[in-house]
Every structure is written in structure tokens, then in C-alpha cells.
Amino acid sequence: MKNTQSNPETKKFVGVAAAQLVKDGMVAGIGTGSTMVFLIEELARRIQAEGIKITGVPTSFASRLLCRKLGIPVADMGDVASLDIAIDGADEVDPNLDVIKGGGAAHTREKITAAMAKEFVVIVDESKLVQKLGTTFAIPVEVLPAGLTFVERAIRDLGGEPALRMGVRKDGPVVTDNGQLLFDAKFPMGADYRAIDQKLHATPGVVETGLFFDLAKKVLVGCQGAGGLELKTLVRK
């Protein structure tokens, strides 16, 4: 469910810029996704070129593997109670800096990391900016397998259309790093996502949703300007 209009050059630009927010001595949450690959690569370069010492706390197996491959020291998020900063991508960002995450099936761990951080920063290219959440992206809902049918009915009762996320080049559904399954739920335009989020969290069998309200303090946006690539910084009011 990734946005195919995203520009790799813009992703790299914003990922490299965001890596400068990680300072020597920090413990940093490192998110998941294509934009984060560029951030991880830049952090590895800074460790080698500048000698900075950091500890990364990856939100997924994929990010952990890349960090270890490139020589970034990592810690398990279950062993960390707080973070100096957490940086992650997003699938949609609205004008209030609320976001939808979960295109990479890691939103539960990403939300824990965001909540642990003194500062949670989202990095995106401009294709991810929307006026209202749910415009282009369904709401990921991580679900216990035992609650699959019950949660599916609950989503429908809330006006949503749930689709079980299926694997690519793998038979069967996507299985998260937590061993759970995922629904991608589309709701009608104008839906009250805060109310929906609250009701989903009260539904037995729901592990977590991809709706991130009131967590991002700052969003870095890579844009294609008249003079080339530009960086916009959006700050929560």
C-alpha cells in the first residue's frame, strides 16, 4: 500500500537532512520504510566520518538488519524506557501533524518508540501531505489471529471496509514482527478517525492502529522547488 508517486531523490534528501538531528551520545529510535533507509545510511556515514557515538533502537527486523550491516550499534526496544529522539516516515500527514503509519506493517512498534521519545520527528516527501487523514491510505489495524473475525465485524460496524493484508511473493497473509495479522480498513470520507481509533482500541483482539494522534512534534518535508530540492519544517502548534 505504498504511495508510488514518492520520489526517491526527495526521500534521500529528507532522510540525509534528518540524520543531522541525531547528536553524539544519543539513543535514537529508528523507524521503518524506504525513507528511513537513507537516514540509516547517513547515520552510518557519520559514525565513520565524524566519529559520533549513538545507539539505534530499530522498530523492525528490517531496520535492525540494515543498522547492524552498516555498523550502527543497536539496542532492543524492550530494554529501553526512553529515547532522546525517534525518527520515522509516514504514509499520510495532515495539517495538524497527525499521521497514518503502517505501510511497512511495523506501526505497533513504531508507536511505542514514538511515545518513548523526548522528540518524535516524522520525515516524508511532499506526496505524503494530505488535508485529511484517510484520503489516499487505509488505516492499518494489527490484530490477534484469534480475534480476526470478531475485529473484522467490529470494523464493519464502524462503517469501515477491512481487507486482510496479503503477502507479496508469499502465500497467505502478512505476519508482523509481533506475529500478528493486519487489516487495512477504508472508511468513508469525513469519518471521525479519533472516535474510530478510540473504539478500535476498546475492541478485544485489536493490538494497535496506524493512527498516530498528537505524537509528532515536527515533520520534515522534502520538496521539489524551483531551484531544486528543498526542505520544509512543519512544527506542531
Q: What is the DSSP string of 23-55?
A: PTT-EEEE--SHHHHHHHHHHHHHHHHH----E
Report the chain (237 residues): mean pLDDT per 10 consecutive residues.
64 96 98 94 98 97 97 96 97 97 95 97 95 96 98 98 93 94 96 97 98 97 89 92
The catalytic residue positions are 110
- CATH topology identical between 8-131+213-235 and 139-208: no
The pLDDT value given to residue 225:
82
Tally Cβ neighbours within 10 Å of residue 96: 13
Kindly state the helix (H) or strand (E) to which residue 72 belongs, with its residue range: none
- The class of domain 139-208 in CATH terms is alpha beta
To the nearest 5 percent, what fractions of the chain are helix, strand and coil? 30, 25, 40
Q: What is the pLDDT of residue 50?
A: 97
Whether the predicted model's global pTM rises above the 0.85 cut: yes
What is the reported pLDDT for 227?
Answer: 82
Query: What residues does each domain of the chain span?
Result: 8-131+213-235, 139-208
What does the block give as the cell for 195?
A: 472516535
State the Cα–Cα distance between residues 210 and 106, nearest whole angstrom.
9
Confidence (pLDDT) at 6: 60
Q: Do the bridges between strand 92-93 and strand 181-186 make them parallel or antiparallel, or are there none, so unpaired?
A: unpaired
- Measured N-to-C along each axis, helices 61-70 and 34-50 cross at an angle, to the nearest 10 degrees, of 30
CATH architecture of 8-131+213-235: 3-Layer(aba) Sandwich (3.40)
What angle (nearest 5°) sits at the alpha carbon of residue 157, between those of residues 195 and 163?
95
At 172 the pLDDT is 93
CB 76 within 8 A of CB 113: no
